[in-house]
Structure formats: C-alpha cells, structure tokens
Amino acid sequence: MIVVACPGQGSQTPGFLSPWLELPGSHELLSVFSDAAEVDLILHGTQSDADTIRDTRIAQPLIVAASLLAWSALEQRTPSAPDGTAGHSVGEIAALVIAGVISAYEGMKLVGIRGRAMADAAALEPTGMSAIVGGDEAAVLTRLEELALTPANFNGGGQIVAAGAPAALEALAVDAPRGARVIPLQVAGAFHTSYMAPAVERLRTAAGAVTVSDPTLTLWTNSDGSVVTSGSKAIDLLVGQVASPVRWDLCMTGFSDAGIAGLVELTPAGTLTGLAKRGLRGIPSVAVKTPDDLDAAVELLSKDIA
C-alpha cells in the first residue's frame, strides 16, 4: 500500500511555488485555484515574504493549491494510483480532492472560506501554538492541563502541539516537562481548539453547498485515524476538525495497520515525511518539494510490492 499525504499549515516558504510554474499548464491551473479561493496564489507563492504567507487567509489556500498542483503533475506522469490518502489539518481538503470526494475547484473554494473564517476567529483574542518535542506524554498532557492549554495536534514521534493563551505558552517554555523541548510556532492562532468554534459554522454552511461523492481511495481522518468510506461523513469530519485536535499519530497507526509500503508527501513537503521517519520507521518515503522530486515519487508509486 502506497499512501499520499498532504501537509498542513506552517510548511510554506517564500517563493516555493516558483519552480512549479515552469511546468506546462501550471499557471492556468493556479489561476483557476486563485479564482476559487479568492487569493492571488501566483503572487503569494512566488513573491510574497514569510510574514505575508503566514497570514492564515493566504497560507491555507496556498498550501492546498501546492499539494493539488503537485498531485496534478504526478497524475500526468504515472498511471499508478496510490492506495490511500490523508491530509494533516488543512491538508485534509487536498486529500478529499485526491480521494474523489470533492472537486479541486470546490476544494479550493472551501479552503478559501476556511482560511478566512479561522483568521477571523483567531483575531477575537490573542492566542498561539507551540510544539513540544520529547518528554513523557502523560507528563506533557498534565502540564498542559495545569496551564489551561489544549493539545491541538498529536503528531506522533514524540511531538504534541499545544495551543492557547500567549502567557501560558510562555510559562510552558520556561518550565517545560522533563526531557521536552518547547518550540514556538509561527501561526496566527490556537487552531484545532475551542477558540476556533466561530469558524465551524461558517465552514459548515459552505460545505453544505458542495457536491460530495464517496471516496475512491482509502481515506483516513485526522479525527481518530480511522478510515472514512462515506463522502458526507468525510465532509462533516472536515468541518468539525477546525475546532478539534489533529490526530496524525493515529493516522500513522492506521497506515501501519493497513500495511503501508511507501509514503509520498505532496508539496510543500518535508514535515510529514519527517514525522514518518520516527512514527513509521523503515517505510520508504518521498517528499515532493519541487518538480525535481516527481520522478522519485513516480518510482515509489509504480513499485509492485507484494
């Protein structure tokens, strides 16, 4: 089983779409995506600085568009389809497109609305997020509870992301659990927590207008790492995920239980293959960061693994 994984917010870097625009048809595709998301993806993916593309309204459409652009290029190069797919946080929208649940255009419309709704929710009061690497998980969770912080992402490989008030995050960094490192993240709010509740209803309304099909590939959900076979349920989970923890650790457990033999991470890649090195030890992986990585992804997808 080969799984295609779609990364989430924070994986973007200035100019990362520039090499993709050299591929035939990519400029036209990004123009269509820009129209759907109401964001100038070509401008922000090639010229905007790090602070600009950190804006949730821009970052989320940019990340999903990058994954779909890489997916389109990959499809053109190989007849070998993956066996399954999953996305981390906003990457779930790209995964739903790859699994045939929604169209690419409707996926980009949804991510534009999601980004704006979450940015507006984050603006209601100051919040942030920090990654906690290492330490005993029980001790980490106890410390977060003491500080009224929420474990927003369980990323696997000994990494949990905490979210909440800036003062509490600072206190966590000053007095971290034994054996743990605390790394502040450059994001604009406490995503996947109750702070995002105002965004849920806006996304639910938008999702109600989308044409939905059942997935054609094995599709895992961030909700609990289970396989989703209903398109309508996949959309419901996608909406609720805005204010619920990301369980990427359970997604990786699901991959392992299904007998994963390889992982291809789409653009802007690197984060999920890094987690897989710890959570899926020994499983071959390819991070598609630029078009130069497509051949390696094609090779992995084309392998006939018994």
Residues annotated catalytic, as ranges: 89, 192
CB 254 within 8 A of CB 225: yes
Query: Quick one: how many helices (H) and strands (E) in the chain?
Result: 13, 10
Q: Which of 41, 104, 102, 35 is nearest to 75 (CA)?
A: 104
Strand-pair partners of 183:
131
Task: Give the amino acid at 148.
Answer: A
The structure tokens listed for 247 are: 């369980």
Strand-pair partners of 220:
227
CB 3 within 8 A of CB 85: yes
The structure tokens listed for 78 are: 């190989």
Long-range contacts of 138-147 (CB under 8 A, 24+ apart): 139/177, 139/178, 139/180, 140/177, 140/180, 142/177, 143/172, 143/175, 143/176, 143/177, 144/172, 147/171, 147/172
Handedness of CA 226, 277, 176, 7 (dihedral sign): negative
Angle between helices 197-207 and 104-122 (to 10 degrees): 160
Token look-up 């020994």 returns 282
CB 136 within 8 A of CB 178: yes
Q: How far apart are CA 109 and CA 105, in angstroms?
A: 6
